[in-house]
Amino acid sequence: MGFPNWAKNILFLLVYMISGLVLVIIIGGLLSGSDLEPLNAVIESAVVHMRTPILTTLLVWITRIGNPFVFASVAVFISVILVVKRNAYDATLFLTALIVTVVSLTILKNVFQISRPVSDIYAADGWSFPSGHATLATSFFFLLPYIFFGKMKSLRSKTILIIGSIVGTLLICFSRLYLGAHWTLDILAGIALGLISVSLTILLFNIFLEENRSLRKRLNL
C-alpha cells in the first residue's frame, strides 16, 4: 500500500484497538447477561422470515466455500505463488496472520463453550462463539487487499479487489446467520477477532521486520 510505514502502523493500531474494544464489549455482555443478548433473538427472528428454498440452497453452497479447510488450502496456494514470485515476506505474513487467527479462535471457543442455536435447515458441529467462518473470512479477505492492493496496476482491479473482499466476507457471515449455525453475537465477535488477529500480525511485522531491511531481503531471496 502506498503509505509510509508509520501511517500504516497508526491505521492498524486503530483497527486493533477498536476491534478489541468491540470484542471486549461483546464478551462482557455475554458474561453479565446484559441487553446485548436479546439482539440474538431479534436478528434470528428477522432472518427466519427471509428463508426460501432457493436462498437456502445458495447460502448452503456459500457457507461450504467458507469452510476453514477451503480457506487453508487457498492460503497455502497463494503463499506458494508469492514465494515463487520471490515475495516470501508477504507469504510469511499471510500464513502467520491466519495461524494467529486460528489459535485465537480455538482458545475463545474452548474457553466460552457456548452452544449453537437450534436449526432445522443446517447441522453444524462444535461450539458457537465466536463464529469460525466469520473469523477466518474476515482475516482472509482483510489480508488479500493488504498484500495485493499495491501490486494492482489499474484502479478497476483495485476496486474489484476491495469490493470483492467486502462482499465475500459479508456473504459468508450472513450465510451462518441465515442457516442458524450461529447467533448474531458470534458473527460480530468473529469479525472483531479476525480484525484483531490480522492487525496485530501486521503491526508486529511492520515493527520488527519492515524496518529491518536486511532481514526482509533475506526472506525474499
Q: Is 173 helix (H, G, I), strand (E, B) or coil?
A: helix
Q: pLDDT band for position 210 (50/70/90)?
A: low
Chain-centre distance for alpha carbon 79 = 17
> Is cis: bond before 68, omega within 30 of 0?
no
Asked if 15 and 195 touch (Cβ cutoff 8 Å), the reply is: yes
Question: pTM, whole model, 2 decimals?
Answer: 0.88
- State yes or no: pLDDT of 1 exceeds 50: no
Q: What percent of the chain has pLDDT over 90?
A: 52
Q: pLDDT band for position 181 (50/70/90)?
A: confident
Q: pLDDT band for position 3 (50/70/90)?
A: low
CA angle 171/131/54 to nearest 5° reads 35
Average pLDDT over residues 207-221: 61
Q: What is the pLDDT of residue 219?
A: 57
Question: When comparing pLDDT for 38 and 34, which is higher?
Answer: 38
- As a whole number of angstroms, the distance between CA 27 and CA 98 comes to 22
Question: When comparing pLDDT for 122 and 130, which is higher?
Answer: 130
- State yes or no: pLDDT of 160 exceeds 80: yes
Q: pLDDT band for position 216 (50/70/90)?
A: low
pLDDT in tens, 13-23: 999 999 999 99
Q: What is the pLDDT of residue 213?
A: 53
Chain-centre distance for alpha carbon 116 = 20
- State yes or no: pLDDT of 221 exceeds 80: no
Nearest Cα neighbor of 179 from 129, 118, 138, 132 is 118
- As a whole number of angstroms, the distance between CA 108 and CA 189 comes to 10
Q: pLDDT band for position 153 (50/70/90)?
A: confident
Rg of the chain on CA atoms, in Å: 18
- Residue that is written with C-alpha cell 526482509 in the block: 216
